[in-house]
Amino acid sequence: MGLIVMAAALTGCGKTQERTEDFHTELFGEHVYIFSPEDDPAQVQAVLDGIYRTQETGQFGQERYALYFLPGTYDESLQVQVGFYTQVAGLGKLPTDTKIPKLQSLARWLGNDPGNHNACCNFWRGVENLEMQSNTVWAVSQATDMRRVQVDGALYLHDDYGWASGGFLADSRITSMVDSGSQQQWLSRNNGYRMWMGENWNMVFLGDEEGGVPTGTWPGKSYTPVNETELIREKPFLFFDEKQGYQVFVPAWKTDAKGTDWESGEQPGEAISLKDFYIAKEGIDSAATLNEALKQGKHLLFTPGIYRLDEELVITRPGTIVLGMGLATLTPTQGNACLRSEGADGLILAGLLMDAGTTESETLLHLGSTTGEDAEPSLLADLYFRVGGTPTDMPAKVQSCAVIDADRVVGDNLWVWRADHGDQVAWNKNTARNGILLNGDHIRMYALMVEHFQEYQTVWNGEDGKCIMYQSEIPYDVPSPESWRSLGGTRDGFASFKVGEEVTSFEGTGIGIYLYNRDAIIPLHCAMEIPDRAGVKVHNLITVMLTGHPGMEHGINDSGMSVLQGGQTARIIDYENGLIK
């Protein structure tokens, strides 16, 4: 069942027709549901509950869903529960066009004892472009997004103070408070709220409206405010217009942005007809059909599903958009990449999960070099990478999940994960050397989260780079000290974040790096490895020894306090040119 509303609609091709279930399924596939305020609330609730029954616990499941709500006010009885691989979104031009009484993501599926609602594995889900008319629980961790929403009341980023390891909130209005509670870290970007409660380890506020941003000075408080977002383009979204049908709205680039960009009712940007998109469907499309569409100058819209690609998708046209619905997943089958660009600037890649295959790939995403000082920036939004964990006969393998050689790339909420649990997971099974390599110049990363890779998690070689809010865990499963030494075998372990030795300009702000030496006694030398020169700066870094064998000797290079016992933390205020605060 792909549609339950029965109402007149436009196809987007200038022709009105009765929108039936068959029409909808033909357009978007059977895992996209579009609801209307005129639908029977009991029938809508039954569909939502049926999907949630499978998706609540489907951490490594194969189903993908996109649940869309046409503009209007929905029955006060409706409750939307968001599980794994589920995207919930409104189809209005503004978030306030679509009003949902209640939406939540709870953490009660791991067999937790009552009162211990641990959300540390609540991954792969999102909500956007809606107004929620009540207090909202959004207990999530990495690979999740809440964007472009209005919450009429309070937003709780935890489920009854159970642990959570998220997360990301952007371009949203919360009419009351945000309570982060037990969240370990969070990036709040370009939001407005009355007050923020909670701190824990690393809370970063980028371009949020003044007034709600909490006060307090690092390291006494875990808050890092950054006044404005230097450069950002909000993620594109699907919407429905009664005259033009379905379209994709692409917001314009903003500089020095503060607060949301939709509350005035006028959002700069461009509406693109679905006629300009090739709509991909699981089980129908292949790498060949998708590459042919790209050659014809089409954008790609991936409907929910898992796409197994026997060759990489190649983007050569500047300005190409590749947008996923419902956590659409790309997996290579022949040791190829999922996506590669060749000299194309102004790209938008958003809303996709890329899974490593069982034949080792060099990388899953490669953005090739761009040239020219006037190259248009590219956006990577809600992109997630995974190595292992899914049910397979053979373990997943890749050398590095993403390689960014292009200049002027903005990353907005990335999780790059070598699985630490699930199927076929072990040091010699789901192998992956690095998480992400950033070789281009003028790259901006907001909410970059990279975990459990076998050497450096992140390698940053480009000039004039900025990373605001970084979260990382070192691998749990190192088998021996001999198997995990850097710098030609002279240093214990691999730092999480390495800035290249030739880099002269880099700035990292709100950096959290955590260590769990589960399997071997290995004293990691340092969390970050950077050149000691003016122009390479780090602000507000925290290191945490979670548990296991000791420990971590330094925060940056040879500086900073050690963390050797479970629960111990150490903080650095500023570091530049070998000098530490």
- Residue numbers of the domain that contains 327: 275-580
What's the rounded Cα separation, in Å, for the pair 516 and 522? 10
* Cα–Cα distance list, 4 to 33, 40, 225, 538, 565 (Å): 7, 9, 45, 52, 55
Kindly state whether residue 266 falls inside one of the protein's structural domains: no
Distance CA(399)–CA(101), nearest Å, equals 45
Q: Please write the tens of the pLDDT for every residue from 189-218.
A: 999 999 999 999 999 999 999 999 999 989
Claim to verify: residue 292 and residue 388 sit in the same structural domain = yes
pLDDT at 442 over 60: yes
pLDDT band at 110, cuts 50/70/90?
Answer: confident
Whether residues 333 and 482 fall in one domain: yes
186 in the same domain as 327:
no
**Residue 270 domain flag:** no
Nearest to residue 196, comparing CAs of 170, 171, 217, 223? 223
- For residues 573 and 581, give the distance between their C-alpha atoms in angstroms, rounded to a whole number: 5
pTM here is 0.96
* 173-183 residue pLDDT tens: 999 999 999 99
Residues 6+ apart with CB under 8 A from 567: 544, 545, 546, 547
Give the pLDDT score at 266: 84
Q: Is 480 exposed, middle or buried (0-12, 13-18, 19+ CB in 10 A)?
A: exposed
Pair (280, 429) in one structural domain? yes
Tell me, yes or no, whether 265 lies in a domain.
no
Give the total number of structural domains in the chain: 2
442 plus 574 within the same structural domain: yes
Across the range 356-382, mean pLDDT stands at 94
513 and 426, same domain (yes or no): yes
Among the listed residues 131, 234, 473, 553, the single catalytic one is 473
- Say whether 360 is catalytic: no
**Whether 150 and 218 share a structural domain:** yes
pLDDT (mean) for 112-134: 90
Is residue 154 located within the same domain as residue 289? no
CA 272 from centroid of its chain's CA atoms: 24
Coil, strand or helix: which one is 576?
A: strand
The reply to whether 243 falls in a domain is no
Average pLDDT score over residue span 321-337: 98
Report pLDDT digits (tens) over 450-479: 999 999 999 999 999 999 999 999 999 999
- The verdict on residue 268 lying in a domain is no
R_g (Cα) of the chain, nearest Å: 23
Residue 408 has pLDDT above 90, yes or no: yes
How far is residue 332's CA from residue 389's CA, in Å, rounded to a whole number?
Answer: 16
| Two structure tokens written together for 199 | 């701190």
Do 110 and 184 belong to one domain?
yes
207, 290: one domain: no
Q: Would you give the DSSP letter of residue 215?
A: P
Q: How far is 44 from 25, CA to CA, in rounded Å? A: 17
Poorest-confidence range of 25-34, 135-144, 296-305, 496-505?
25-34
Q: How far apart are the first and last CA of the chain?
A: 59
Beta bridge partners of 516: 547
Average pLDDT on 334-351 reads: 97
Asked if 358 and 400 touch (Cβ cutoff 8 Å), the reply is: no
Residue 245 lies in a domain: no
Mean pLDDT (whole number) for 321-335: 98
Collect all residues with Cβ–Cβ distance below 8 Å to 414 and sequence separation of at least 6: 380, 383, 384, 385, 402, 436, 445, 447, 448, 449, 450
Whether residue 164 lies inside any domain: the answer is yes
300 with 418, same domain: the answer is: yes
Neighbours of 489 (CB within 10 A): 8
pLDDT at 22: 55
Question: Residue 432 belongs to a domain with what CATH number?
Answer: 2.160.20.10
pLDDT confidence of 11, banded at 50, 70, 90? very low
Q: Tell me, yes or no, whether 545 lies in a domain.
A: yes
Cis peptide before 283 (omega within 30 of 0): no
Would you say residue 135 has pLDDT above 50?
Answer: yes
How confident is the prediction for the chain on average, in pLDDT? 94
pLDDT score for 209: 97
Whether residue 185 sits in one domain with residue 329: no
CB atoms within 10 A of CB 532: 14
